A and B are shown apart, each in its own frame.
Chain A
Amino acid sequence: MIPREGASASVEQDYEALLQFLYMAPVGLAQLARGGEIVLINPLCAQLLMPLATRGDLANLFTVLEGVAPDLAHRARAFAPLHGKVCDAMHIQAHAGKPGHDPQILSLTLLKLDADRFMAVLDDVTLSVKRDRELRHSQAWIHSISSGIFDVNYALMSLDSRGIVRGWNVGIRNLSGFEADATVGRSYANFYPEGDMLGHRVVERLREADQTGWSLEEGWLRRSNGERYWGSGLIAPVEAATEVPEADRTYSLVIRDISERREADEALRRSVWSDHLTGLANRRAFFDAASAAAQRCTHTGQPITIVLFDADHFKAVNDTHGHPAGDAVLRHLAAGLSATFKPTDVVARFGGEEFVVLLTGSSAAEARVTAERFRSHVAAKPVTVDGIQVPCTVSAGVASCTDGLSGIDELLRRADIALYAAKATGRNQVAVWDETLEQNGRAAPARASR
């Protein structure tokens, strides 16, 4: 008897130790049933998820994350192998961040164990993402100065306080084909395709370099023969901003041709920044673009406008025609939005059936006209899925600001209030935020009954 009791006491102690091991694990773990239902979950996972759980429960992981990773359920359903990683350290942007706070970024790995079970690993990677970004910047900087300037892939030049190129060298010709007379005394905007580097942006990048020590941008550049190439442009101040008056400052500009690296980067960029189902930008890409736009807006006073679209009665589409039809409707709306808005506007999938468009330089009134065009187009043309016509309408909320001070979260909140007003007054319409809507407000649970 005694050994048996001893054994059982030790099993109990082991069990308790194991329980505490999971209670204390510094990473979020959850086991899910086939449809995302949470069966087991450890505290850290709950800590990370609770602020996102708008319904206040942790019954289903896909539902809890629906607002921030809307394509998760689709990915899990579409994952054909019997076991394996559905997603691996996928970054999820939880919110836009408040002034002085970085946006929270979660990393999610979803492992399919068998036909009926998934295991999820969730971690807060906000700090490491920030560190990575800083490291990449410094590496680019060190790489640029330590690499041969006479390499055909690099050009180095100096700029004055307005971004005018002050001297020419053979490196500039090797890289871009531009001769001295087409370079000296002209803005460095000349190296970019027409319209890509507008006057205010030229100066903004110099100010950015003053403030942070550099300004680094990747994008399309152009050669003298009109050919485009993928490059990065690094601007660094020659003198410390505090020592020299603004008008006398000089900068160095290094342009690198990184076309070769681009394809690999592009594939990565697509997987990290785009929504799996629709191919649109995802929330993270949206918040990234939005915070950059908000920063620019504080300098330039240009308006930032946000339009939130939501498919009306979307649950009914899923219930009546099935999830594949619902997915087809979402893809249809995504394609329509991309075609309707300008290429410079950012169109992103924001939630389950919610889309967001970020417009810079357009007023609320202008955005409303475009949104209205899209709304009437959707209402007029049912989506055809497998020969069946699925009628669909959208509602939209528009909000705009010119000071950039209120921040993206505030702008989204206003657009959401306008969207709610559009829903409340019968759906299939576009509403623009104003103070009077604010008094009506909206109750958070209203989301569920769209």
Chain B
Amino acid sequence: MTQTVSIPFDAAPAEVSAFLHSASAADIDALGFGVIGFDAEGVVRRYNTHESRMAGLSLDRVVGHAFFTVVAPCMNNFMVAQRFEDTARDGGTLDETIDYVLTLRMRPAKVKLRLLADPAIALRHLFVQRQP
């Protein structure tokens, strides 16, 4: 029997790193907020159940596709995509939470986005928390 490991959306940076290092697919699926992980080319490698339900898209339509063009063009601007690019170019880590509006099933939805990049972790991550 394996117990799933969980973290809150606003977990401390060290806690997030440790979680992302070791979390299994089941752990990430069990989280109460959306998680998207994509590689240096912007191709989605992780897409958790929560995010899949919010967006109304199943995994096979998202995983393996370019995140900022095919899946979430709404984040392809200086506020999100550019932050990841800049971090990759300048080196260092990115951990910033911003207020944003996503178009989940074409409905404008206020969310908090947590932008995460760390050279020690292969994938870049976005945490998505719906706001009331």
A19–B103 touching, CB < 8 Å: no
Render A1-41 as a binary contact track against B, CB cut-off 8 A, 1 for contact. Answer: 00000000000000110011011101000000000001111
B72: which of A22, A38, A43 is its contact (CB, 8 Å)?
Answer: A43
Nearest Cβ in chain B — how far from A428, in angstroms? Answer: 35
Q: A24-B70, A53-B101, A58-B101 are in contact. Are A40 and B56 (CB under 8 A)?
A: no
B-side interface residues, number (CB < 8 Å): 26
A50–B57 touching, CB < 8 Å: no
Nearest Cβ in chain A — how far from B129, in angstroms? Answer: 15
Nearest Cβ in chain B — how far from A248, in angstroms? Answer: 47
CB-nearest residue of chain A to B76:
A47
Residues in B67-105 with C-beta less than 8 Å from chain A: 69-79, 99-103, 105
A59–B79 touching, CB < 8 Å: no
- B residues within 8 A CB of A45? 74, 103
* A42 at interface by CB-CB < 8 Å: yes
Q: A23-B73, A24-B73 are in contact. Are A46 and B108 (CB under 8 A)?
A: yes
Q: A50-B74, A51-B78, A57-B101 are in contact. Are A42 and B58 (CB under 8 A)?
A: no
Most buried by B among A15, A39, A47: A47
A24 to B73, CA, bound (A): 7
A56 to B101, CA, bound (A): 8
Nearest Cβ in chain B — how far from A70, in angstroms? Answer: 22
A101 to B20, CA, bound (A): 38
A44 to B76, CA, bound (A): 9
A313 to B79, CA, bound (A): 32
A58–B76 touching, CB < 8 Å: no
A51 to B70, CA, bound (A): 20
B58: which of A16, A47, A57 is its contact (CB, 8 Å)?
Answer: A16
B56–A43 touching, CB < 8 Å: no
A23–B77 touching, CB < 8 Å: no
B75–A47 touching, CB < 8 Å: yes
Nearest Cβ in chain A — how far from B73, in angstroms? Answer: 5
- A residues within 8 A CB of B102? 43, 46
Give the dominant DSSP class at A's interface.
Answer: helix
- B residues within 8 A CB of A15? 56
A56–B99 touching, CB < 8 Å: yes
B57: which of A16, A40, A42 is its contact (CB, 8 Å)?
Answer: A16
Q: A24-B73, A41-B108, A51-B79 are in contact. Are A46 and B101 (CB under 8 A)?
A: yes
Q: A50-B77, A58-B108 are in contact. Are A20 and B61 (CB under 8 A)?
A: yes
CB-nearest residue of chain A to B62:
A20
- Chain A interface size, as a band, is 20 to 34
Q: A19-B56, A20-B57, A23-B57 are in contact. Are A38 and B108 (CB under 8 A)?
A: yes
- B residues within 8 A CB of A59? 108
A39 to B74, CA, bound (A): 16
- B residues within 8 A CB of A26? 73
- A residues within 8 A CB of B110? 57
A43–B108 touching, CB < 8 Å: no
CB-nearest residue of chain A to B69:
A24
A43 to B103, CA, bound (A): 6
- B residues within 8 A CB of A20? 57, 61
B79–A23 touching, CB < 8 Å: no
B73: which of A39, A43, A56, A57 is its contact (CB, 8 Å)?
Answer: A43
A51–B77 touching, CB < 8 Å: yes
A293 to B110, CA, bound (A): 41
- A residues within 8 A CB of B56? 15-16, 19
B106–A22 touching, CB < 8 Å: yes
A50–B70 touching, CB < 8 Å: no
Residues in A48-84 with C-beta less than 8 Å from chain B: 50-51, 53, 56-59
A40 to B106, CA, bound (A): 5
Q: Which 7 A-B pairs have the closest CB atoms?
A: A43-B74, A46-B74, A58-B108, A40-B106, A58-B101, A43-B73, A47-B74
6 contacts between A and B (CB under 8 A): A23-B72, A23-B103, A24-B73, A40-B106, A41-B107, A44-B73
B interface, CB within 8 angstroms of A: 55-58, 61, 69-79, 99-103, 105-108, 110
A interface, CB within 8 angstroms of B: 15-16, 19-20, 22-24, 26, 38-47, 50-51, 53, 56-59
List 8 additional contacts besides A44-B73, A51-B77; criterion CB under 8 Å: A23-B57, A41-B106, A43-B102, A44-B74, A46-B101, A47-B74, A47-B77, A56-B99
